[in-house]
Structure formats: C-alpha cells, structure tokens
Amino acid sequence: MEEKKLTFKENLKKIFDGACTVPNFMSLVRILLIPVFAVLYLKGYIWWALLVLAISGISDFLDGKIARKFNQVSNLGKMLDPIADKLTVFALAIVLFFKFKSAQSAAMQAFAWVFLLFIAKEIIMLLGGLVIISKGARPAPAAIYGKVATFAFYLVMILIIGFGPEVGALSLINPNLTLPETVMFVLVVIALVLTFVAFASYIPDAVRQILGKEKPEEKAKD
C-alpha cells in the first residue's frame, strides 16, 4: 500500500512534534556558536575561537548519545543535527578561505580554492533538503559516512586553527612549531574526499525523494 504523502504544513507539524529536548537545545547552541566563532577568529582572538570550535565539536559528539540514551530522538533532531553540521562546515570553510587568501604564503593562497568545494557541497545539500521538505518528505538523517566525514572535518579544522602556519593559534606564539604546509594541505584534502564520499552516499535517496519514488525494499513490503 502506498503511504499517503503529507502536505508541506503537515510535514512541518510532524517535524516539530516532541521537539523540546536537550539534544535539540544543544544543536541550537551549536548554530548560535557559529557567528561567535567567526567573529572571534576573524578579529584575531584565535585561542578563544579554538575553544568555541572545540565546544561545538564536543556537543556534536554528545547530543546524539544523549538522544539515544534518554529516548529523546525526535524528527526535528534528525534534521537539526545535520543542519548544524552543515552550517558549521559552511562557516569554517568561508573564514578559512579568506584567511588562506590573505596569507603571505603563495602556496596557501593557491590552496584557498579547495575550501570553495566544501562551500559548494553544503549549498547543494541545503537546497536539496529544502526541495525534499517542499515535496512533503523529510531529508534522511545523517548516515555513517556523513558522521565520519563530519568528525574528520572537525578534527582537521581544530588542527589547522590550533597549529596551522599563519592561520593557527600556535603561530601567534612560535611560528616554528606549527604544522608544515604540506601536512596541512594533505589533511584538508583527506577531509574533502571523505566529505564528497558522504555526499555521494546521500544522492540516491535524495533523488528518490525528490522524484517521489519508493525505496526498493519498501516496494517489496507492499
């Protein structure tokens, strides 16, 4: 039997049912921390920006565990958590793009374009999610590929903002102790590859939802 599709309004109501939970509050805090991080980092308060980023990463790690342990999994949480991830990735990629472009190192200036790929991917994902919601469906929650990619991205960004040459907190104290440029570039490329592997894993389900098609296993149940 074909499942009745919800209208846009009905879908939104279902999403916000049971939304007042601790994990959802933590995801909202992560979103609110994004402009705080950006302002601190761009104003040169890199150590404080690094602390804010670490808090954001820890809350990202904990909110899912709290939701499962205390039975606080919600439809909104399944969407809010990846949205917070995407906005964080988007903000980090933007500030690092400008930081790399303004670096004295020619190699870092040339490498800045890599961060535009992160930005492009997140824009596509956000637009795709809005289209799916407008179709009366809900975007799929983060899969294992997405979680691994997000963890790797957070780790690499913390390393860059903590120990990166010219752009990291340690460069303010002793530039000789920062990461070699080559190591930093390799870490970013690894994070980028994992990000696009995760992106590719979402495409089949997203296309099915946009076209209004069922998954093969759902057809088998009918």
pLDDT of 17: 62
Quick: pLDDT tens for 123-172.
998 888 788 777 766 666 667 888 888 889 989 999 999 999 999 999 98
Binned at pLDDT 50, 70 and 90, residue 222 comes out as very low
Quick: pLDDT tens for 34-56.
999 999 999 999 999 999 999 99
Domain residue extents for the chain: 8-221
Q: In angstroms, how far is CA 85 from the centroid of its own chain?
A: 3
pTM (two decimals): 0.80
Q: In angstroms, how far is CA 21 from the centroid of its own chain?
A: 21
Binned at pLDDT 50, 70 and 90, residue 180 comes out as very high
Whether CATH 1.10.580.10 fits 8-221? no
